[in-house]
């Protein structure tokens, strides 16, 4: 690829600024490392989920997730689970890029979104790193505002082996700037694809028998500070649904302790799941002190309220896990770290938001009805499977590229 005049000018201008201080950096793990970059903060959850799926497909694969600042670091702090290795890219300075690539030595780069860093991309290309650009739409197919450097976009796009665009407008833009047709593909948009928790078939069969067709709702990732709202909602629902069972899965050991105290004083009949107490017919609440059995509870409960969303700022669980396992969704007003997932579920009619314990109780009574819960669950499943084709396609491409690159090229 010939060096463009615009790229040379951009590179020279970038060097005139002082390089940023990267701060402390995690050590590079041994073995193959795939670098995933989210060009916008709202792509981070889906990019991280893609990385986890790639790790399931290839043994001992390391994933590095990066993003430009723009709120990305704050978003990562409120995401559960968090990326194993995450670095914020604060500059496109050539010296910072060389230090980044020297340290991580990625075997492959997958770049999500069309907001590009020309110096970093050309430095990676010069090292022979295979590079894929995907999830590019018309809105973000740009390089900041460098309109006075006319061929900078073309030079940056040509760093990639494959460019996957999501619509006709972004495809036309790529063609207009001169991207070779052989590099261009149409694809689905990137959507977060969950890996829902598992459960033992024997446990599912046993608890299903214990419930004996009783209606049940779940509070997942429950906070101790939400206990009063949860209890108020359940008491309201019990007045109309006398056999209704509440399952409370605590967000942490500290929350479990606080919930146990509050439930113990509630006057309701509570079974401590982790102490081996069974779900008898007279039990009104089951307390699970951690999230180890969420795969079981999601499969049993047709309706799930995601805890942490009433309590205020902090990490919240991924609602797509519950949706993937057939549960309708409820949440409070605090959805930081999972806003994109919730917006997708709201748009599909798979979730509803409530403001407090009173509204939660009313929603439980309305949505626990089998027909209503089933319709929401179906909408949730359809939402979860959006973008599955792209994830599968990327997985196959990653496997092929890493296999071709060979063990002799993998970082150690």
Backbone phi, psi, residue 347, to 5°: -60, -30
Dig out the tokens for 163 from the structure: 């460019």
Nearest to 349 by CA among 325, 318, 323, 388: 323
Domain 5-190+387-409 belongs to what topology?
A: Rossmann fold (3.40.50)
How far apart, in whole angstroms, are the C-alpha atoms of residue 200 and residue 4? 58
Angle, helix 94-104 to helix 5-15, in steps of 10 degrees: 90
Sequence ranges of the domains in the chain: 5-190+387-409, 201-384
* Partners of 112 in the β-ladder: 38, 134
Task: Give this prediction's pTM.
Answer: 0.78
pLDDT tens digit at each of 412 positions of the chain: 455 667 777 777 777 777 777 777 899 999 999 999 999 888 888 899 899 999 999 999 999 999 986 655 656 655 656 778 999 998 899 999 999 999 999 999 999 998 889 999 999 999 999 999 999 988 876 555 455 465 788 889 999 999 999 989 889 988 988 899 999 999 999 988 788 899 999 999 999 999 999 999 999 999 999 999 999 999 999 999 999 999 999 999 999 999 999 999 999 999 999 999 999 999 999 999 988 999 999 999 999 999 999 987 777 888 999 999 999 999 999 998 788 889 999 999 999 999 999 999 999 999 999 999 999 999 999 999 888 889 999 999 999 999 998 755 545 4
Architecture of domain 201-384: 3-Layer(aba) Sandwich (3.40)
Q: Is the four-CA dihedral 338, 340, 341, 346 of positive or negative sign?
A: positive
Residues in the chain: 412
3 state SS of 368: coil
Q: How far apart are the first and last CA of the chain?
A: 29
Evaluate whether 5-190+387-409 and 201-384 have a shared fold: yes
Q: Where are the alpha helices (DSSP H) in 265-387?
A: 294-300, 319-324, 339-348, 357-367, 370-384
Dig out the tokens for 376 from the structure: 């929401």
How far apart, in whole angstroms, are the C-alpha atoms of residue 10 and residue 155? 11
């Amino acid at each position: 690829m010939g060096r463009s005049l615009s790229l040379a000018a951009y590179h020279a201008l970038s060097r005139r600024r002082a390089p940023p201080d990267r701060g402390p950096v995690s050590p590079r793990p041994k073995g193959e490392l795939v670098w995933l970059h989210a060009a916008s903060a709202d792509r981070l959850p889906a990019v991280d989920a893609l990385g986890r799926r790639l790790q399931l497909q290839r043994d001992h694969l390391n994933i590095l997730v990066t993003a430009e600042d723009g709120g990305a670091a704050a978003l990562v702090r409120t995401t559960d689970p968090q990326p194993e290795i995450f670095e914020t890219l604060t500059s496109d300075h050539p010296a910072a890029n060389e230090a980044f690539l020297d340290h991580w030595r990625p075997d492959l780069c997958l770049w999500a979104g069309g907001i590009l860093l020309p110096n970093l991309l050309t430095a990676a290309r010069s090292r022979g790193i295979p590079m894929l650009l995907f999830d590019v739409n018309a809105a973000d197919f740009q390089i900041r505002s460098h309109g006075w450097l006319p061929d900078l976009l073309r030079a940056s796009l040509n760093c990639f082996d494959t460019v996957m665009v999501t619509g006709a407008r972004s495809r036309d833009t790529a063609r207009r700037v001169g991207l070779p047709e052989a590099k261009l593909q149409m694809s689905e948009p990137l959507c977060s694809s969950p890996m829902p928790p598992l459960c033992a078939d024997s446990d599912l069969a046993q608890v299903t028998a214990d419930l004996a067709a009783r209606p049940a709702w779940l509070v997942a990732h429950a906070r101790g500070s939400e206990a009063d709202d949860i209890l108020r909602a359940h008491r309201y629902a019990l007045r109309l649904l006398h056999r209704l069972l509440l399952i409370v899965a605590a967000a942490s050991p500290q929350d479990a302790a606080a919930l146990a105290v509050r439930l113990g004083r509630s006057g309701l009949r509570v079974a401590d799941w982790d102490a081996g107490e069974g779900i008898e017919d007279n039990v009104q609440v089951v307390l699970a002190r951690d999230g180890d059995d969420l795969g079981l509870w999601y499969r049993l409960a047709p309706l799930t309220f995601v805890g942490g969303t009433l309590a205020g700022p902090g990490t919240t669980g991924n609602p797509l896990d519950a949706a993937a396992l057939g549960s309708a969704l409820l949440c409070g007003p605090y959805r930081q770290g999972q806003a994109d997932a919730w917006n997708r579920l709201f748009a599909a009619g798979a979730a509803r938001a409530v403001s407090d314990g009173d509204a939660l109780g009313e929603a439980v009574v309305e949505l626990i009805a089998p027909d209503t819960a089933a319709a929401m669950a179906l909408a949730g499943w359809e939402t979860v499977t959006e973008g599955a084709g792209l994830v599968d396609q990327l997985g196959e491409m990653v496997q092929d590229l890493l296999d071709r690159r060979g063990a002799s090229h993998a970082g150690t």
